[in-house]
Amino acid sequence: MTKVQSTAPSEWRLKVAAAFLLLLLSISAQAQACHQDNPLRSTGTLNLRIDNDMFGGIGQDQGYSNGFLVSWVSPNLVNYRDAPCLPRLVRGLNRFLTVLQPEGFDEQNMTIGFGQMMYTPNDKTRSDLIKDDRPFAGAMMFSFGYNARRGDRLRTSQIRVGFVGPSSQARQTQNWWHDTIGVDKFNGWRHQLRDEPVLQLLHERRTLDS
């Protein structure tokens, strides 16, 4: 009998993540090309943020071992649905997210991001289930956010979608990094939280200090 091999769930999730990173790069390139049509002459910004427990003191991470976020902040936009510096796919998506989009502000832009986070208990040597500490967990998230400012008032709305569990590839990422820097691996990843979808809605309003 011929055995048919199918693509593992983790593989297609990696392909989705890679496609999203390519989308961020293409968005940044498109903003560079169209910035001459923007009255504020801004091309947007591509950012990379890295969090790691080695940057802080012992115990400061509270189980948050590592994380990264690749994000793009758009130029200032007149609106979110007809901005020429946004790809057509993003403009189309924005038509369904109008409830999150601020209006009537002096400055407004959009953020698009992709990130991975991993959480581990304190004892890296144990391979059994540790019931009295934070569980092993990894998450992979995609985000779309809307920022606005008027005077000293700031407003941010964001939607995040993704998944937590083995398909986030957190275990593989941590093992690769520990191999690279010559550090012992955590032994309990087989007890990590199972695959589950994640949906987050965030809204924040702030007033800048004068």
pLDDT < 50: residue spans in the chain:
1-9, 33, 38-41
Domain of 101: which CATH number? 2.40.128.140
Domain presence at residue 1: no
Q: What is the pTM of this model?
A: 0.71
Q: How confident is the model at residue 4, as a pLDDT?
A: 37
Count the domains in the chain. Answer: 1
The answer to whether 57 touches 63, Cβ cutoff 8 Å, is no
- Count how many residues are written for the chain: 210
Measured CA to CA, the distance from residue 27 to residue 74 in angstroms comes to 9
With CA atoms as reference, report the closest residue to 191 among 168, 171, 169, 209.
171
Alpha carbons 34 and 90: distance in angstroms, whole number = 15
User: What are the start-end ranges of the E strands in the chain?
Assistant: 45-52, 64-73, 107-119, 137-150, 153-164, 196-207
Q: Which domain holds residue 64?
A: 9-207
CA separation for the pair 208, 12 (Å, rounded): 43
* Mean pLDDT, rounded, of the chain: 79
